[in-house]
Amino acid sequence: MSPAQKTYTVAVAGLGKRGLHHAQAISTNPRFRLVGLCDIDQARLDAARTKFGVAIGQTDAVRLLADTRPEVFVFCTLPQVRLPLIRAGVEAGVKLIAYEKPIALSTNEALEMYKLLRAAGVKTVVSHQHRYGLHYQKVKEIIAGGALGRVHTVYGQATGWMMHMMTHLIEYASWYNDYAPAEWAVGQAAGKEKFADVHSSPDYIAVVAQFANGVRGVFECGAGAPDVPEVEAWWRKCRIGAQGTEGFAEVLTGGGGAGGGWRAVTKDGILSGPGGMDYDHDMPPYIQDIADWLDDPNMVHPCNGETALKGFEIMMAACRSAVRRGKVTLPLGPGEPELEALQKALP
């Protein structure tokens, strides 16, 4: 069978909002076969098995993997469950693990995860799938076409808090900056209320990052980040873009009803267009790119885990900076778990 015809088997663990998005896109793509489902919540598991017509269901991911021996393991659990499921996937011999952002709760955890993955040669994909939105891509096209002149700054802002939103912002801004590596980051944070959330975070964080190509990154998340009044849906009030010597271009995430789109001011004038984040639009190509990468190692997934790890490191470097003060140089080694350290350090 030629690789183009091969069907890859997939097991999905964590069947909440995002797990169902993944299962839906996988079950409608002929390149994949959904062979097993898992959730610790029996009612969610039963409902998903019925919805997708999948025979094998387990409340334990290790048993799911043993029962189904899939080529692809997808997990969409909350951020507290990462390293054990990466280990389970690696030990079960899967080829690729696709999982949700944020990568981990700490640098230590992320380093441990990637040590296991690299040693076993397992590919990873992290769900920063907003980039498939046509408005996100329009901004990339404008920047890559040179209409901004020399790009000197990339930026991202979201009113949603750090562990929900920041790696999205950094990922897309890094894409707009051709994924130049970051050299250092400086961060400052405020407020401890959101540390109690399942996406444990400071209430507000500001990050300045220096990229090796001379471009500066500026990111803000949480209560106190600038509003994006053009977008109504609170979680989608994100503005990500680039400024250069001859203009700027930016995307407003939006979607889900009202607002969103892209805009640019360049030497060609003032330009804008519609757009909105839409899971139904963004998930199918995200899933298809997994098949393409498994078919051909040169077709690296745009949301590959090694790139996502670099964005995660910028966020964690900023947390370390808020604790220790000063610049934190990248890449990061092991250290005090960032969220706990930050919670202790903030007044």
Kindly list the residues in this chain that would bind ligand NAD in the complex (CB under 6 A): 13-19, 38-41, 44, 61, 76-79, 81, 100-101, 127, 129, 164, 199
Q: Which is nearer to ligand NAD, 244 or 305 (by Cβ)?
A: 305
Q: Which is nearer to ligand NAD, 129 or 210 (by Cβ)?
A: 129
Give min distance, CB of 11 to ligand NAD, in A: 11
Give min distance, CB of 230 to ligand NAD, in A: 20
Q: Which is nearer to ligand NAD, 81 or 314 (by Cβ)?
A: 81
CA angle 75, 76, 81 (to 5 degrees): 80
Residues 6+ apart with CB under 8 A from 250: 139, 155, 239, 240, 241, 242, 262, 263, 264
Asked if 14 and 82 count as a contact pair (C-beta separation under 8 A), the reply is no
Q: Which is nearer to ligand NAD, 83 or 271 (by Cβ)?
A: 83
Give min distance, CB of 267 to ligand NAD, in A: 34
Determine phi and psi for 240, rounding to 5 degrees: -135, 130
Give min distance, CB of 14 to ligand NAD, in A: 3
Q: Which is nearer to ligand NAD, 31 or 168 (by Cβ)?
A: 168
Closest CA to 49 of 34, 62, 66: 34
The pair of three-digit structure tokens given for residue 120, joined into one six-digit string: 């076993």
CA dihedral sign of residues 168, 173, 176, 181: negative
Give min distance, CB of 86 to ligand NAD, in A: 12
For β-strands 72-75 and 216-222, DSSP reports them as unpaired
Q: Rounded to an integer, what distance in angstroms lies between the CA atom of residue 319 and that of residue 161?
A: 13
Give min distance, CB of 52 to ligand NAD, in A: 15
CA 347 to chain centre: 30
Q: Which is nearer to ligand NAD, 253 or 266 (by Cβ)?
A: 253
Asked if 144 and 303 count as a contact pair (C-beta separation under 8 A), the reply is no
Give min distance, CB of 17 to ligand NAD, in A: 4
Closest CA to 315 of 173, 186, 124: 186
Q: Which is nearer to ligand NAD, 127 or 266 (by Cβ)?
A: 127
Determine the residue with CB nearest ligand NAD.
16
Determine phi and psi for 58, rounding to 5 degrees: -140, 150
